[in-house]
Amino acid sequence: MDTLARIKALAAKEFSIDPNSVDPAAPLDALGIDSLSFIEFMFKVEEEFGISVSDEDLRGIKNLGDLERHVAAALAAAGKA
């Protein structure tokens, strides 16, 4: 399963949304994800992928596509990609 598919599956489980209907470019609030819920979700993403996303990077994540790029970069930097 690729990175985006794993993120979509986690989001589907966390937010009770259909992973097949998730547009990775949709703003998080359009998916019903508020900022507090997203921070809690990030802990699960970090645990799932074994990475850490900085607070600075977190502020730049506006959709799941952004999140996928940050996770992929962190995995590559850690030699896990």
* Total of domains in the chain: 1
Q: How confident is the model at residue 80 (pLDDT cuts 50, 70, 90)?
A: confident
Q: Which two tokens stand for residue 61?
A: 């994540």
* Domain membership of residue 36 as a residue range: 3-77
The torsion region of residue 60 among left (phi > 0), alpha (psi -120 to 50) and beta comes to alpha
* Spatial distance between the Cα atoms of 69 and 73, rounded to a whole number of angstroms: 6
- CATH of residue 62's domain is 1.10.1200.10
Q: 């599956």: which residue's tokens?
A: 9
Reported as a single tens digit per residue, the pLDDT across 21-64 is 889 999 999 999 999 999 999 999 999 999 998 889 899 999 99
Would you place residue 75 in the very low, low, confident or very high pLDDT band (cuts 50, 70, 90)? very high
Q: What is the pTM of this model?
A: 0.89
Overall residue count recorded for the chain in this entry: 81
